[in-house]
Amino acid sequence: MANIGYLPRQDFAVQRTSPADILIRSVLIAAVFLSLWISFHPFVALDEPILVTDVGNLVNQLGYSTLFVLLAAWNLLHQPQRLLLLVRPVLIATLCWFALSVVTSWDPALSARRLAYALVIIGIAGMVLLVPKSPRHFADVLAVVVLIVLVACYLGVVLVPPLSIHQASDVLEPELAGDWRGVFGHKNEASAAMVLFVFIGIFIARVRSLGLGAFIVALALPFLYFTHSKTAIAALPLALIVSIMMARAAKPANGVAIAMLLLLALNLLSIGSIYIPPIHALVQAIMPDATFTGRTDVWKFAVDHVLQRPITGYGFAAFWGTEQVVYGMTGATWANTASHAHNGYVDLALTIGIPGSALVTLWLIVLPLFDYYRGSDEPESAALRMLFLRICLFAAYDSCFETMFTQVGALWLILIAAAFGLRFLAVSRVCR
């Protein structure tokens, strides 16, 4: 966001401020975030047979590729050297590891296609942050986009409930009948978006309009409740509380330690409950369902397969939903038919190995926490830093039981954008 540090202050006076310029910027930002949340195929019917295929979604590929080209063209005309601020050793190492995971994949062609798509997503996440004129401009566009998505979700529930509420006739997970999903394909996607909308509403309240921000929060919270997503509902207050504690920490190291200790505790509570008897006993004592609604079967299945290929994994984004897993790994449980491991860190280890999982966690979670403390304390900058911090924290905690680390999904874009945003704010301040 230009006037909080992405450019030296002396450059602001020469930036174009015409209505046409603002309109182009606004349309680009809105296009990215509408495609992120409404997608190119909203209101998906879930009562149709699911085909196992390695063919990607052509509409998504064309849509995101078009956004990438448009953003690249805009950035080429607006100081593209600013993108160099994103280049850091961990990013280079992560991308190199992605490439290695393609070479060693059990399906190199599939991994290569999905890596190409992921690189487009990563590019969009970085380039879109250079488009807003200011945090206030960013808040204005986000407010319009979020309100459009919320209205579409509520209208879907009222007008076309079979396409916006899980039904007993759904081919997969008919037990979710009654859970709201709106324009999204699954209640977990909807719940994650509603949490993000709460964070965005708070951001808008701080930099633009208290009433508008409060209105967005008031719309997002009831929809979040009716998704009945326990993980997102629990991760929301955790992210809010930890972000406040980090903001008030006397030393950056203390704030980062608080965030990381909670992340470790949640992973011990989830994955650790399978292998560590005292933790399993604790979970049985405090949880009504010690299996975390069947997740323990998936975790055990996933971890067992991580241990078979711990270094390079099975290939970039090439495990769940593949024929080898769905048809070739049938056993005593249903775990091989799951769409993901219900733990983002294990998901990464499955596809790109344990070193790859560590690199992505360092890139998208750990280093952004340190970047948070390096940004400007100007009011608008502080509000934007807090928005990005909360997105990273929510992704970190939600991914202990779900995953935002899908490597090709839409939520992957918003997490990368948040991490990139904290990096931009930190480094550009240093470079002034």
d(CA 428, CA 202): 24
pLDDT at 98 over 60: yes
- Of 34-38, 41-45, 157-161, 287-291, which gets the smallest average pLDDT? 287-291
Confidence of residue 137 (pLDDT cuts 50, 70, 90): very high
Which region, left, alpha or beta, applies to residue 407 given φ > 0 means left and ψ of -120 to 50 means alpha? left
Q: What is the pLDDT of residue 107?
A: 92
Q: What is the pLDDT of residue 412?
A: 85
Q: What is the pLDDT of residue 50?
A: 56
Say how many CA atoms lie within 13 Å of 316 toward its Cβ: 26
Q: What is the pLDDT of residue 6?
A: 43
Q: What is the pLDDT of residue 290?
A: 61
Q: How many distinct structural domains can be found in the chain?
A: 1
Phi, psi (rounded to 5 degrees) for 199: -60, -45
pLDDT at 3 over 70: no
Q: What is the pLDDT of residue 14?
A: 38
Q: What is the pLDDT of residue 167?
A: 92
Q: What is the pLDDT of residue 409?
A: 67
pLDDT at 46 over 70: yes
Confidence of residue 332 (pLDDT cuts 50, 70, 90): low
Average pLDDT, the chain: 88
Q: What is the pLDDT of residue 207?
A: 95
What proportion of the chain, given as a percentage, has pLDDT over 90? Answer: 64
Give me the domain span that covers residue 130: 2-431
Which residues share a beta bridge with 165?
A: 180
Query: Of 413, 366, 389, which Cα lies nearest the Cα of 88?
Result: 366
Amino acid 163 reads L
Return the structure tokens found at 384.
């934007």
Q: What is the pLDDT of residue 18?
A: 82
d(CA 170, CA 237): 31
| SS3 assignment for the chain | CHHHCCCCHHHHHHCCCCHHHHHHHHHHHHHHHHHHHCCCCCCCCCCCCCCCCCCCCHHHHHHHHHHHHHHHHHHHCCCHHHHHHHCCHHHHHHHHHHHHHHHCCCCHHHHHHHHHHHHHHHHHHHHHHHCCCCHHHHHHHHHHHHHHHHHHHHHHHHHCHHHHECCCCCCCCHHHCCCECCCCCCHHHHHHHHHHHHHHHHHHHHHCCHHHHHHHHHHHHHHHHHHCCHHHHHHHHHHHHHHHHHHHCCCHHHHHHHHHHHHHHHHHHHCHHHHCHHHHHHHHHHCCCCCCCCHHHHHHHHHHHHHHCCCCCCCCCCCCCCHHHHCCCCCCCCHHHCCCCCCHHHHHHHHHHHHHHHHHHHHHHHHHHHHHCCCCCCHHHHHHHHHHHHHHHHHHHHCCCCCCCCCCCHHHHHHHHHHHHHHHHHHHHHHC
How far lies 110's CA from each of 65, 158, 401, in Å?
18, 39, 26
For residue range 372-417, list pLDDT tens digits in order: 999 888 888 899 999 999 999 999 999 998 887 776 667 889 999 9
